[in-house]
Amino acid sequence: MGNPRMNGFVKKYKAKFGRYPSDWAVLLYDTVHNLKQAIEKSGSIDTERVKSSMVSITVDTSRGRFYFREIDNQLSCSAYFGRVADDPKYDFPIYHDLLELKGPDI
């Protein structure tokens, strides 16, 4: 995705496991780092304080900066659509003609 956080994660993951991370690995990585950012914002590991700090917080993820919506506290992140096809640079299919729909737009 061409940003430093994603590039760093992919590099570390490949060094440890010898392959690219799955979507699930990326989401878990982001989740842990989102929690870390909420803990740092709240200055505590107390559940209620951390929950309160996550309302409308903006977080840095491997896919960019996103925020948690105040109305339901869900992450307003992008959705991706494309044509799945082989690529000689990868040993698995990837998106071609990628379309990114921003969270606030959907």
CATH number of the domain to which 69 belongs? 3.40.50.2300
Cβ pair 20, 14 in contact under 8 A = yes
Query: What confidence tens digit (pLDDT) does each residue in 89-103 have?
Result: 988 999 999 999 999
Query: Of all residues in the chain, what percent carry a pLDDT higher than 90?
Result: 71
Residue 89 in any domain: the answer is no
Rg of the chain over Cα atoms, rounded to whole angstroms, equals 16
Confidence band for 57, pLDDT divided at 50, 70 and 90: confident
**What pLDDT, on the 0 to 100 scale, is given for residue 1?**
67
| Phi/psi of residue 43, nearest 5 degrees | 70, 25
Q: Residue 2's pLDDT is what?
A: 75
In a domain, 63, yes or no: yes
CA dist 55 → 34, 51, 99 (Å)? 12, 7, 28
**What residue numbers bound the domain in which 12 lies?**
4-76
20, part of any domain: yes
Q: Give the mean pLDDT of 62-71.
A: 89
pTM above 0.75, yes or no: yes
Name the helix (H) or strand (E) containing 62.
none
Number of domains in the chain: 1
- Asked, for residue 30, whether it belongs to a domain, the answer is yes
Residue 24 CA to residue 91 CA, distance in Å, equals 18
Average confidence score pLDDT of the chain = 92
